[in-house]
């Protein structure tokens, strides 16, 4: 028996990297009986049946698990948002940040296509970068064309398991290609009619990039908050956690409660008003969802 990590899952086969070699493995029937599916990123024990094939016998305990993309043991999420084409969306970014924080995955915000900015849009993006850095997020401005920010991104990837996420057309594959040109990942031209890129990534695979492992995926398909309880939501806004300690009531939702320190911080300009507006809309969305049984 040997140990390894699943690097790719495709058509019922799991490609396990062990001591520099890749084994094409199938899962034992016991996994199906237990309703357990091996995931990319899983650390596994397997039995080699030849120089290149084998069977997975055990799956190690998972640090975390994502459904879409189906991957386990992710250490950080590289959230790629383009400055333009498609336009930067702070509300969509905040949605991603909540989902990533809820999985206890460290987020890194990457703003791509910086080379396409003009004067006015450059100032707007600079304000967002300042705001998110002040909250405590790691923000990297990049360009696959000028190579700006790529060295900084490569440093963050080294020695870690990362998932790259973001809406289609933001340049995820372009960035990975710039970091490792031999990948030749397909890049979808942005569809200006729909304002979204074509899906060009077909399966989940851990790729060796800049000394780390990176999952290039079709992006997060499920962006609903169905796995998050309403009273947990404030915890996934780091600046709310800090100011929330000053609220009069424990468990304050920061909506209509009296003497709410978070709302006071918003009114004082210490918390960006758009962050609070996004939070309020997320609360309303969660209140409208059907109860889970």
Single residue among 41, 59, 77 that ends a domain in this structure: 59
113 in a known ligand binding site: yes
CATH number at residue 277: 1.10.40.50
Q: Are 280 and 237 in contact (CB under 8 A)?
A: no
251 within a domain of the structure (yes/no): yes
CATH number at residue 3: 2.40.50.140
Which of 68, 63, 77, 71 lies closest to 14 in space, CA to CA? 71
Same domain as 153, residue 24? no
- Residues contacting 27, CB < 8 A, separation 6+: 14, 37, 38, 55, 56
pTM: 0.87
For tokens 């309880």, what's the residue? Answer: 229
Single residue among 164, 182, 214 that ends a domain in this structure: 214
Task: State the Cα–Cα distance between residues 162 and 215, nearest whole angstrom.
Answer: 6
pLDDT in tens, 80-137: 999 999 999 999 999 999 999 998 899 999 999 999 999 889 999 999 999 999 999 9
Which residues of the chain fall short of a pLDDT of 70? Answer: 187-202, 216-222, 291-293
Single residue among 159, 189, 214 that ends a domain in this structure: 214
112 in a known ligand binding site: yes
The DSSP output letter for 12 is T
164 within a domain of the structure (yes/no): yes
Q: How far is CA 261 from the centre of its chain?
A: 30
pLDDT of residue 189: 37
What is the domain extent for residue 239? Answer: 228-286
pLDDT of residue 97: 96
167 in a known ligand binding site: yes
Same domain as 75, residue 171? yes
254 in a known ligand binding site: yes
pLDDT of residue 148: 95
pLDDT of residue 263: 98
Task: State the Cα–Cα distance between residues 214 and 176, nearest whole angstrom.
Answer: 9
273 in a known ligand binding site: no
170 in a known ligand binding site: yes
Phi and psi at residue 132, to the nearest 5°: -70, -35
Same domain as 276, residue 152? no
The DSSP output letter for 89 is -
Q: How far is CA 11 from the centre of its chain?
A: 24
Same domain as 261, residue 206? no
Task: State the Cα–Cα distance between residues 171 and 127, nearest whole angstrom.
Answer: 22
172 in a known ligand binding site: yes
206 within a domain of the structure (yes/no): yes
pLDDT of residue 32: 76
pLDDT of residue 198: 43
247 in a known ligand binding site: yes
Same domain as 174, residue 117? yes
pLDDT of residue 101: 92
221 within a domain of the structure (yes/no): no
223 within a domain of the structure (yes/no): no
Same domain as 117, residue 189? yes
174 in a known ligand binding site: yes
Give the angle 194-197-198 at the CA atoms, nearest 5°. Answer: 105
173 in a known ligand binding site: yes
């Amino acid at each position: 028996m040997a140990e390894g990590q699943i690097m790719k899952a495709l058509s019922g086969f799991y490609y396990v990297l062990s001591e520099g070699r890749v084994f094409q493995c199938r899962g034992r029937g016991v996994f199906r009986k237990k309703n357990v599916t091996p995931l990319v990123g899983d650390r596994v024990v397997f039995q080699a049946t030849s120089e290149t094939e084998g069977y997975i016998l055990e799956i190690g305990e998972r640090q975390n698990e994502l459904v879409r993309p189906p991957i386990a043991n992710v250490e950080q999420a590289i959230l790629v948002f383009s400055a333009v084409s498609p336009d930067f969306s702070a509300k969509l970014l905040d949605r991603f940040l909540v989902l990533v924080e809820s999985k206890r995955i460290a987020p890194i915000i990457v703003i791509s296509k910086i080379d396409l900015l003009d004067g006015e849009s450059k100032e707007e993006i600079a304000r967002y970068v300042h705001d998110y850095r002040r909250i405590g997020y790691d923000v990297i401005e990049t360009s696959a064309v000028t190579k700006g920010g790529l060295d900084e991104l490569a440093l963050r990837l080294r020695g870690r398991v990362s998932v790259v996420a973001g809406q289609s057309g933001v340049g995820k594959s372009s960035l990975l290609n710039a970091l490792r040109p031999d990948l030749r990942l397909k890049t979808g031209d942005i569809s200006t009619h729909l304002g979204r890129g074509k899906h060009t990534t077909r399966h989940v695979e851990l790729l060796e990039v800049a000394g780390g492992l990176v999952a290039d995926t079709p992006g997060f398909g499920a962006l609903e908050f169905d796995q998050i309880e309403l009273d947990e939501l404030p915890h996934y806004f780091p600046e709310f956690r800090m100011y929330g300690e000053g609220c009069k009531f424990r468990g304050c939702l920061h909506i209509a409660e009296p003497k709410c320190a978070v709302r006071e911080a918003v009114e004082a300009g210490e918390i960006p008003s758009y962050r609070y507006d996004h939070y309020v809309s997320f609360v309303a969305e969660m209140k409208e969802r059907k109860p889970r049984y």
